[in-house]
């Protein structure tokens, strides 16, 4: 029986992925910054462990509590929507601390056991923003593009040891409250400098009017496929809109 450790499992893609792997008979270490009862079912094959990927001590403690793992899914992330001019640099650093440096730090912490064992898979969840030119996402896209580059090089470093690294690129999902989380509940008008407002409104209207969207289950199933893929594929778009963007690219 194999074990997967998944970050950011309190909701959305992370929670659905934890449920999916558990349903397939795996042991699941579901990590979250603030564990809450009732988010995931009680099971002797599912443990909820506290983990803040921006804190080295928290990463070390979570891995010690988890014990040996076969797969790491770096799913934890923070969203960001705004024009770059109106984004404080403090917010830019906050996004990168979780989306980029947190992924790198957690990966670095788990690699010794993978390398020594000669097996293991790292799946980094990025975003379909890396597949096309999307407005209002400069900071978020930059943080995810960094992980795409990181993973592509990492996969080459790990191959001699039988360890794999891959990315899953979810499309836009309407049920994860991405926009609300990205703006902390503020309206776009409050976040965007006035000269950008008409353009930003049109960009958001165009986005919400698109016909294709991703479901949480699309991402969970794609993570599962990435973990089990033996073809050497590096990037896995998840959801119909992401697949369309990847094909167009």
**Active-site residue set:** 140
**3-state class of 194 per DSSP?**
helix
Q: Rounded to an integer, what distance in angstroms lies between the CA atom of residue 53 and that of residue 59?
A: 6
236: left (phi over 0), alpha (psi -120 to 50) or beta: beta
Close Cβ partners of 217 (under 8 Å, ≥ 6 residues apart)? 16, 20
């Amino acid at each position: 029986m194999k074990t997967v450790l998944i970050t950011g499992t309190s909701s959305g893609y992370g929670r659905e992925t934890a449920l999916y792997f558990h349903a397939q008979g795996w042991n699941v270490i579901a990590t979250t910054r603030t564990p809450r009862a009732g988010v995931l079912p009680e099971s002797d094959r599912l443990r909820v462990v506290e983990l803040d990927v921006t804190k080295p001590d928290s990463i070390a403690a979570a891995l010690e509590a988890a014990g040996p793992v076969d797969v790491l899914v770096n799913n934890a992330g923070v969203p960001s929507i705004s024009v770059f001019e109106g984004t404080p640099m403090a917010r830019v650093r906050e996004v990168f601390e979780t989306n980029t440096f947190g992924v790198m730090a957690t990966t670095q912490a788990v690699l010794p056991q993978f390398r020594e064992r000669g097996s293991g898979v790292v799946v980094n969840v990025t975003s379909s923003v890396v597949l096309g030119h999307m407005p209002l996402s400069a900071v978020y896209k930059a943080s995810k593009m960094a992980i795409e580059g990181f993973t592509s090089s990492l996969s080459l470093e790990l191959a001699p040891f039988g360890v794999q690294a891959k990315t899953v690129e979810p499309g836009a999902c309407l049920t994860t409250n991405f926009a609300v989380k990205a703006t902390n509940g503020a309206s776009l008008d409050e976040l965007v400098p006035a000269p950008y407002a008409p353009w930003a409104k049109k960009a958001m209207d165009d986005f919400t009017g698109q016909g294709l969207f991703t479901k949480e289950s699309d991402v969970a199933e794609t993570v599962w496929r990435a973990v089990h893929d033996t073809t050497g594929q590096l990037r896995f778009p998840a959801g119909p809109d992401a697949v369309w963007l990847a094909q167009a690219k």
